[in-house]
Structure 1
Amino acid sequence: MNAIKVGLIVGSLRKESINRRLAGAIVKMAPAQLQFEDIPIGDLPLYNQDLDTALPEPVQRFKQAVESAQALLFVTPEYNRSFPGVLKNALDWGSRPWGKSSWPNKPAGVIGASGSPVGTALAQEHLRLVLAALDVPTLAQPFVFVQHAEGLYDDSGAIANQVVRNFVQGFVDRYAAFVTRHVG
């Protein structure tokens, strides 16, 4: 099977982000046919419609990276019961200018980690609503809300807790099948 290029978008800018760590663990768990490419969002300016006619260079790079991806994986924290503003800003830039959205028909997965027992449940729900408006089909099940705790990852970055690893592996397997169906 041909490789599938997956754009990886982490909704946290923090260097030691637990969601970036989760993304790294997922990449290790994924089948070899999924080739992940990080799509950074930290250098995007705040969305301003006045710039739609002359997109800033970081926006052009971002849109090109999204457009070159065959599928997407969003890994999001939860801030104040929703996904971070920096991720919303990226989604807005990717949808602009009007009529030139970079998002449509890219199959996507949504996952996230938080210190909360309910993980990123509300952030993921809000993100799924926005992705639906952008015509991004998302994997419906399983919902995976990872509760981050000390010792969750081993020294190699893999998920050390067997129960959590099996649960996340179930997500990864379903995501890979979903993407393969949509891209293939």
Structure 2
Amino acid sequence: MTTFRIAGICGSLRKASVNKKLLLRAQQLCAERIPSAVIEIVDWSDIPVYNWDLEENPPESVIRFKNDIADRDAMLFITPEYNWSVPGPLKNALDWASRVRLGDRGDVFKGKAVAVMGASPGSAPGSSGSGRAQLILRQSFVSLNCYCINLPTVMVTDAYNAFNEDGSLKNVRLENNIVSVLEQLIALGEKSKS
């Protein structure tokens, strides 16, 4: 049986990011509960600011990122929320990878299954756990012709206090939602490949 490969992409580049913790937890839950799949974390930290002038000779980091997406069966994005929006660097990376003529892989997003999760440190009433950023990112995936998992949602609020020392989430419902999203992502990815 072939292993289903998921590109894990964290929208925060900080090493100590709560969103990086969430991605690592999703990776661990996948390994523990879904042996037919693996989340492979994609590093995109060296992608430069998009510049049309570089399209004829794109940076190696851009080609590598685009190939990383093309080589996976589905994508899992973990996004923080900055001023109620998607982080600019993440949007920049998506802009680069969406350029069909870069490299020899063509349109790497078309028909790809994608899921979005996120965390935010906010704990005040109305904190969305990156919900607004997730919504904006999902809109980008509509333009990229991806198939997105909509429910259940994974929005971790008060994220600095949401994790146990071993990296697991204190909220068991969120842990189960992560597994459910991953299972649906795999099913959708398998369907879209066929």
Long gaps (5+) in structure 2: none
Number of residue equivalences: 184
- Report what 2:78 is aligned to: 75
Residues 6 and 172 of structure 1, relative CA distance in 2, 3 Å threshold: closer
Query: Is contact 2:8-2:39 (8 Å) kept?
Result: yes
- 1:111 and 2:114 are equivalent in the alignment: no
Counterpart AA for 2:108: S
Partner of 2:76: helix, strand, or coil? strand
State the one-letter code of the partner of 2:40.
E
How far apart in 1 are the matches of 2:47 and 2:118? 22
2:138 alignment partner, one of 107, 115, 128: 128
Aligned partner of 2:154 among 144, 155, 174: 144
The percent of aligned pairs where both chains have the same amino acid is 34
- How far residue 121 of structure 1 moved from its aligned partner, in angstroms, is 1.1
TM-score computed with the length of structure 2 as normaliser? 0.86
Q: Deviations over 1:111-138 (max 9, x none)?
A: 1111233111110111011111011111
Q: Please give the alpha-carbon distance, in whole angstroms, between the structure 1 residues aligned to 2:174 and 2:184.
A: 16
Q: Are the structure 2 counterparts of residues 44 and 142 from structure 1 closer, same or farther at C-alpha, using a change threshold of 3 Å?
A: same
Tell me, what secondary structure is at the counterpart of 2:22?
helix
Q: How far is 1:97 from its partner?
A: 4.7
Moved more, 64-73 or 30-39: 30-39
Aligned-residue RMSD, C-alpha: 1.9
CA shift for structure 1 position 29: 1.4
Deviations 1:117-172 (A, max 9, x none): 31111101110111110111111222221113444222322223323323333333
Q: Structure 2 CA distance, aligned partners of 1:114 and 1:22?
A: 10
Asked if 1 retains the 8 angstrom alpha-carbon contact of 2:3 and 2:37, the reply is yes
Give the counterpart letter for 1:15 in structure 2: K
* 1:69/1:172 CA distance change after superposition, 3 Å: closer
Deviates more, 1:12-21 or 1:168-177: 168-177
* Residues in 1 aligned to 2:158 and 2:186: alpha-carbon distance in whole angstroms: 23
TM-score when normalising by structure 1: 0.90
3-state SS in 1 of match to 2:148: coil
Contact 1:8 1:74 in 2 (8 A): yes
Displacement of 1:53 in angstroms is 0.6
Segment of structure 1 superposing worse, 68-77 or 152-161: 152-161
Code of the aligned partner of 2:11: G
The code of the aligned residue for 2:74 comes to A
* Distance (whole Å) between structure 2 residues aligned to residue 168 and residue 115 of structure 1: 19
**What's the CA shift for 1:45?**
0.4
Q: Is the 8 A contact 2:97 2:108 kept in 1?
A: yes
